[in-house]
Structure 1
Amino acid sequence: MQQINWYPGHMKKTKELIQQNLKLVDVVIELLDARVPISTRNPQIDKIIVGKPRVIVLNKSDLANSRVTHEWIKYFKESGINAIPVNSLTGAGLDKLMTEVHNAAKDKMDERIKKGMRVRPVRAMIVGVPNVGKSSIINRLTGKKSAKTGDRPGVTRGKQWVRLKGNIELLDTPGILWPKFEDQNVGLKLAFTGSIKDEILDIETIALRLIEYLCEKYPEYMKERYKLKDIEEDGLMNMENIAKNRGCIISGGRIDYTRVAKVVIDEFRSGKIGKITLETPDDLSTMEE
């Protein structure tokens, strides 16, 4: 299995950009993928934004297991941070997000009024790893296509202030990953969800690992989606059975591993296999042991 280690120069610049502009904002919006809240939390962010009010967005909540999403909301609340489930494609949850941003900035705004300073928009910064939906959320909030979007990580570049509804100004930042993955499982989950460019990965191995995980944790979903009679102990056999059932066969009756890999990964990312969350709050205690 290849080591996943991806830290382009623009991500280093993004870290510096966040540090330089933190003093300009009242609230930090931390954007996570609801399916992998642990793996999409950049451990550097906690150190960089320490002391700033924060709101967490659990985006792509429509693709996640709703029961586990509620467990995450409870976990973050106990940590003193409000987390809002959002679907950036439909806009569900964004009104609540705006309310929480104002709530998080209330003390700062009240302080300005007491000092006789003019009332100004709440200033927020949005941060997160690539491909968790920042641009889609900004476009929803502004009601226009103000930020470049794409279905591949790394399309957002540079710094831009965007005026949002509800008297909020938002400083957008490009996606930021940490320099290396101490835990290769984190790298795998980011690969599963598309936060690492597919072009730099061994897509067949990534799909095999995903199939192994889903067959263990969500066997009924896999049986139903791919018409599997049984879940085999050998992950490769499951992959080959999926290929046969989906017609991913090349000349001579051989398995087209690349094609079946793309099928499973695409169907996982689009939610066609089912509403799946790969991490729960209980996993945190396991990781700390």
Structure 2
Amino acid sequence: MSFIQWYPGHMHLTRQLIEERIKAIDVVIEVLDARIPGSSFNPLLQTLTGHKPRVKLLNKQDVADPVQTQAWLQWYNAQADTRAIAMDASDPAPARRLIPLCRELAPQRGGMSRPMRVLICGVPNVGKSTLINTMTGKKQAKAADEAGITKDEQRIVLDDDFYLWDTPGMLWPRISISQSGFNLAASGSIGRNAYDEELVALELLLYLQKHYAKELQARYKLEHSPEEIAALHDDALLELIGRKRGAVMTGGHVNMQKAAELVITDYRTHALGRITLETPEEFAEWAAIAAIADAERLARKEALAKAKKKKRKPR
């Protein structure tokens, strides 16, 4: 599948803001979606902030698969200069853990003469604004269950010597890992005009069939066993769900668009249960395949450029 790359003008401005701000930053907090901890990691942010110690914050842990959340925490905590924690942004107790964690990563900072300077960033709709509002105890940042709400940089004082800079959610110009594109779309981090909902729903069902067939059976009251659900073609399963949920048009045909919207909504509203759409091993495999494809694409581009240059060379 080829996604329309969703990279509005404010995301380009965000990149410029981060490039300028990062020079004076001590610690970076990258907020990730605990349901897609690999896909919601922004490689462009890694490039912009990679030399700084960082906190990987797996947000929305209360709706993610707890077993997979622990696996992802171990995976990120094994990385250099990185601490990973999971939390639900609406819970004030774990949110306050971020301040001492940042101080641990930058022990040389502290006091009014050397205040801690922290940048918080992430892709759209990972719950960053809700987290900030919880940490401060008041509405500092706009929050909503859709991508692209925060548009401007904000400085927030969390303690006398602890300053937090909030940045708008930012994607990267080309999503080379196709599964990441589907997962970001299913989870609401990409604007709905940038993808085909039926294709996203079918990819979502493929993963759910393999890992969460019991949850599908329970949610849609399917007469099939989990094994039978896992063996169904994704189109057939989407049609079956559409019939169960009343997405039927005149003449008895299922409205597949409506059925797709139902499946995506059920995932986003957690009606399917606690779901995580990738494991560390799966994501590493997807990334390796994408890297090979990118290298092949670059080689073809370079070969074409050389051929054109040779063709233009005067005799």
Instruction: Say whether the fold is shared (TM-score over 0.5).
Output: yes
Using the TM superposition, give the Cα deviation of residue 261 of structure 1 relative to its aligned residue in structure 2, in angstroms: 1.5
The secondary structure found in structure 1 opposite 2:109 is helix
Task: Choose 13-22 or 1-10, whichever is displaced more.
Answer: 1-10
The secondary structure found in structure 1 opposite 2:106 is helix
Using the TM superposition, give the Cα deviation of residue 285 of structure 1 relative to its aligned residue in structure 2, in angstroms: 3.8
State the partner residue of 1:215. 209
Task: Choose 65-74 or 277-286, whichever is displaced more.
Answer: 277-286
Using the TM superposition, give the Cα deviation of residue 24 of structure 1 relative to its aligned residue in structure 2, in angstroms: 2.4
State the partner residue of 1:12. 12
Matches of 2:75 and 2:168 in 1, distance apart?
27
State the partner residue of 1:130. 124
**What runs of 5+ residues in structure 2 fail to find an aligned partner?**
290-315
**What runs of 5+ residues in structure 1 fail to find an aligned partner?**
none
Kindly report which structure 2 residues correspond to 1:198-237, keeping only aligned pairs within 5 A, or say none.
198-230=192-224, 231=229, 232-237=231-236
| Structure 1 residues 163 and 207: CA distance shift in structure 2, 3 A | same
State the partner residue of 2:172. 178
Q: Say if 2:58 and 2:87, in contact at 8 Å, map to a contact too.
A: yes
Does 2:71 match 1:71? Answer: yes
Does 2:145 match 1:151? Answer: yes
State the partner residue of 2:156. 162
Which residue identity lines up with residue 90 of structure 2 in the other structure? Answer: L
Q: Say if 1:76 and 1:83, in contact at 8 Å, map to a contact too.
A: yes
The secondary structure found in structure 2 opposite 1:249 is coil
Matches of 2:277 and 2:106 in 1, distance apart?
32
Using the TM superposition, give the Cα deviation of residue 120 of structure 1 relative to its aligned residue in structure 2, in angstroms: 5.0
| Structure 1 residues 92 and 245: CA distance shift in structure 2, 3 A | farther
Matches of 1:202 and 1:285 in 2, distance apart?
25
Q: Say if 1:141 and 1:165, in contact at 8 Å, map to a contact too.
A: no
Q: 1:192 aligns with which of 174, 180, 186?
A: 186
Compute the RMSD of aligned alpha carbons. Answer: 1.8
Using the TM superposition, give the Cα deviation of residue 167 of structure 1 relative to its aligned residue in structure 2, in angstroms: 4.8
Using the TM superposition, give the Cα deviation of residue 23 of structure 1 relative to its aligned residue in structure 2, in angstroms: 2.0
State the partner residue of 1:101. 102
TM-score, normalization by structure 2? 0.84
Matches of 2:249 and 2:283 in 1, distance apart?
43
Using the TM superposition, give the Cα deviation of residue 259 of structure 1 relative to its aligned residue in structure 2, in angstroms: 2.1
% identical equivalent positions: 39
Q: Say if 1:34 and 1:61, in contact at 8 Å, map to a contact too.
A: yes
Matches of 1:154 and 1:3 in 2, distance apart?
17
TM-score, normalization by structure 1? 0.91
Matches of 1:263 and 1:285 in 2, distance apart?
30
Matches of 1:249 and 1:127 in 2, distance apart?
42
Matches of 2:123 and 2:94 in 1, distance apart?
20
Does 2:88 match 1:87? Answer: yes
Matches of 2:198 and 2:140 in 1, distance apart?
36
Kindly report which structure 2 residues correspond to 1:17-32, keeping only aligned pairs within 5 A, or say none.
17-32=17-32
Matches of 2:92 and 2:140 in 1, distance apart?
16
Which residue identity lines up with residue 93 of structure 1 in the other structure? Answer: P
Which residue identity lines up with residue 206 of structure 2 in the other structure? Answer: E
Using the TM superposition, give the Cα deviation of residue 258 of structure 1 relative to its aligned residue in structure 2, in angstroms: 2.3
If asked which structure has higher relative contact order (CA below 8 Å, sep 6+), I would say 1
Q: Say if 1:188 and 1:206, in contact at 8 Å, map to a contact too.
A: yes
Using the TM superposition, give the Cα deviation of residue 92 of structure 1 relative to its aligned residue in structure 2, in angstroms: 5.4
The secondary structure found in structure 1 opposite 2:118 is strand
Matches of 1:284 and 1:149 in 2, distance apart?
28
Which residue identity lines up with residue 147 of structure 1 in the other structure? Answer: A
User: Could you say which structure has the larger radius of gyration?
Assistant: 2
Q: Say if 1:27 and 1:104, in contact at 8 Å, map to a contact too.
A: yes
Which residue identity lines up with residue 125 of structure 1 in the other structure? Answer: L
Matches of 2:72 and 2:160 in 1, distance apart?
27
Cα distance per residue 1:113-159 (max 9 Å; x no partner): 7xxxx445422110111111111111111111111122111110111
